[in-house]
Structure 1
């Protein structure tokens, strides 16, 4: 087996005792530092907590087929950006294993998996869905902002299989702007509906006038959802 890559990470430490973690994945072509700076610009005062560490990894640079093989920081490859084409499962699964090492590092630091939330923006949200639905269904929750999955995604099949086996799955929090490309908004909403049909608990929020970007109202809603999933523990 090939050696697992070590990802660059930046993070925001809690102001008090660390008892929960959020892993927040950037969109294609961005970086952990870039997403962290964007969040800080959008939110007042910041996506920071007294007890939750927020972790922003950076995807490794790799050739990206939709950019004609140009090198970009992307979580996985795509044959093309279309809901109807197959997923590039090899690159998705390799990155699920790599990101799993961050989860295991948090567990080794004393954070139970049911005190970890995984999420992301755009491609980062899709990566988070694969990670949570297929590899780590025992995390506290998963969020996806301006995100979509291919219509025959193996994530849908994995949810159905786990529901049939009587296993629990994390709750999904999903947001999308109505002024994003119309196809992308519809694609994102269809992703939420297909995951719900497969048996996952989902919540989809549309933001009027929002393009393919973050907004303060969206992030404030996300903050509230995170605190609901990862409340301050009595031992913190």
Structure 2
């Protein structure tokens, strides 16, 4: 197997003892630093915690088919942006392994996986679904903002298999703007429904009038949810 490619990271360190981690994945064409700046602009400050490290990886640059093969920082390739398209599993699987090394580094730093949350915006949310549902279902949770999975995604089957085996599944927080013109609200809602049917405990929140973007109210909801999953006073 080829060596796992190390990803460029930026991070917001906790102000106190580090007992939890959030890995937040950017959308297509962005960077980790770009997402951190966007979050900071929307919230009026960093997504920051006393005890949680927030990590923003950057996807490697690769040819992206929906942009006619132009080079872009994307987590994986797509044949087209559609629920009905097959998944580009080769690129998805490869990136799951690369992102797995970020999780492994946190484990080596003393953070158990049940004290980690994986999430993302747009394509980053889809990447988070694959990473958690198929490879790291023992994390504390997964969140996805303005994201969707293809209708026949292998992530659904992986989740159903885990349910049948009576193995634990993570919880999902999903947020989507009702005016999103790039990733349709109904795609996100259907993804949430299919993951719930597969066995994941889901919470889907619609944001009226929000397009394909972040909002302060959305990010405050995400921050509160993270704290319910990774509370400061119950670290084991």
**What TM-score, normalized by structure 2, do the two folds share?**
0.98
Secondary structure of the residue that 1:10 maps to in structure 2?
A: strand
Matched with 1:94 is 94
Pair 1:177-2:177 in alignment: yes
Query: Are the structure 2 counterparts of residues 235 and 193 from structure 1 closer, same or farther at C-alpha, using a change threshold of 3 Å?
Result: closer
Distance 1:10 1:41 in 2: 16
Q: 1:19, 1:233 within 8 Å by CA — same for their partners in 2?
A: no
CA-to-partner distance for each residue in 1:133-191, whole Å, 9 max, x for gaps? 00000000000000000000000111100000011111000000011128611101000
Q: Aligned equivalents of 1:134 and 1:166: distance in 2?
A: 15
**TM superposition shift of 1:44:** 3.0
Contact 2:147 2:183 in 1 (8 A): no
Quick check: 146-155 or 183-192, which moved more?
183-192
Q: Are residues 1:209 and 2:209 paired?
A: yes
Match of 1:228 in 2: 228
In structure 1, what is the Cα distance between the partners aligned to 2:177 and 2:162? 30
CA positional deviation for 1:199:
1.0
Q: TM-score, normalised by structure 1?
A: 0.98
Q: Which residue of 2 aligns with 1:142?
A: 142
Once residues 233 and 135 of structure 1 are traced to their aligned partners in structure 2, the CA distance between those partners, rounded to angstroms, is: 28
Structure 2: runs of 5+ lacking an equivalent: none
Question: Are the aligned partners of 2:117 and 2:142 in contact in 1 as well (CA < 8 Å)?
Answer: yes
Shift of 1:46: 2.6
Aligned length: 236
Structure 2 counterpart of 1:218: 218
Quick check: 1:132–1:142 contact (8 Å CA) kept in 2?
A: yes
Q: Counterpart in 2 of 1:33?
A: 33
C-alpha RMSD of the superposition = 1.2
SS at structure 1 position matched to 2:21: strand
2:183–2:212 Cα contact (<8 Å) kept: no
